[in-house]
Chain A
Amino acid sequence: SAVISQKPSRDICQRGTSLTIQCQVDSQVTMMFWYRQQPGQSLTLIATANQGSEATYESGFVIDKFPISRPNLTFSTLTVSNMSPEDSSIYLCSVGRDSNQPQHFGDGTRLSIL
């Protein structure tokens, strides 16, 4: 399966600031997703990152808060904007080689907001 690298692996940020998380894959993939895993909870899909077009957001998530870029088939970024303590979470990138292949995950970015 693809090797998925996320940066940073963890960060501690101040309230009101923004952080951009990178997801790099070692091979071209059609599907890229961003999930959030809040402490002690399961994964919730934030959005599908579409190459060359705007991301598709799930209910409860908006582009102004979580802008996403997908410039090519191996790279995507998620920005968490104007952070508050409620944004403290693990943010995970997942990829699928195509729409008929299961998703594989990176190790996530552990974000704490003070």
Chain B
Amino acid sequence: QKEVEQDPGPLSVPEGAIVSLNCTYSNSAFQYFMWYRQYSRKGPELLMYTYSSGNKEDGRFTAQVDKSSKYISLFIRDSQPSDSATYLCAMSGETSGSRLTFGEGTQLTVNP
């Protein structure tokens, strides 16, 4: 069983839709949770970074962490065609700068 599970999609939504992306994990030692966005032929770009349980909002993006359920989510409001990319969840244990364990990534397409 993988430590981090993420539905690879693909996910296709119309412009303006609310997008929900999710990951589950099995390792209770994970404390730091990140979402990266990866455009084709580019490296992953850090979108959101949270510690432990709770919500964090940044513009159209909201990250949620539920450690009791070992479940994290990324919500994108008012989705735009420029949001079309692969979204990767990642987690680490002792510190946020320690080794990352990634989900498989969800490929998102936002259609104009």
* Contacts from A to B (Cβ < 8 Å): 1, 4, 30-31, 33, 41-45, 48, 58, 92, 94, 96-108, 110
B42 interface contact, C-beta 8 A: yes
Secondary structure of the B contact surface, majority rule: loop
* Contacts from B to A (Cβ < 8 Å): 6, 32, 34, 36, 41-46, 49, 88, 90, 95-100, 102-105
Please name the 6 residue pairs, one residue from A and one from B, whose CB atoms are nearest each other, closest first: A96-B97, A105-B43, A99-B97, A107-B43, A42-B102, A99-B95
**In the docked arrangement, what's the CA distance between A45 and B97, Å?**
13
**In the docked arrangement, what's the CA distance between A28 and B98, Å?**
17
Given contacts A1-B46, A102-B46, contact A30 B97 (CB under 8 A): yes
Given contacts A98-B97, A99-B98, contact A42 B88 (CB under 8 A): yes
Could you give 9 example pairs across A and B, Cβ below 8 Å? A43-B102, A58-B99, A92-B44, A99-B98, A102-B46, A105-B43, A107-B41, A108-B43, A110-B41
**In the docked arrangement, what's the CA distance between A92 and B32, Å?**
21
Residue numbers in B under 8 Å from A106 (CB-CB): 43
Query: Are A104 and B103 closer than 8 Å at their CB atoms?
Result: no
Residue numbers in B under 8 Å from A94 (CB-CB): 100
Query: Are A107 and B42 closer than 8 Å at their CB atoms?
Result: yes
Query: Are A102 and B99 closer than 8 Å at their CB atoms?
Result: no
**In the docked arrangement, what's the CA distance between A107 and B36, Å?**
13
Residue numbers in B under 8 Å from A98 (CB-CB): 97
Query: Are A105 and B45 closer than 8 Å at their CB atoms?
Result: yes
Query: Are B34 and A102 closer than 8 Å at their CB atoms?
Result: yes
Shortest beta-carbon distance from A97 to chain B in Å:
8
Query: Are A42 and B43 closer than 8 Å at their CB atoms?
Result: no
Residue numbers in B under 8 Å from A96 (CB-CB): 96-97
Closest to B45 in A: A105
Other than the known A42-B105, A97-B97, A101-B96, what 17 A-B pairs have Cβ atoms closer than 8 Å? A1-B46, A31-B97, A41-B104, A42-B6, A42-B104, A43-B88, A43-B102, A45-B100, A94-B100, A98-B97, A99-B96, A100-B96, A100-B97, A102-B32, A102-B34, A102-B97, A108-B43
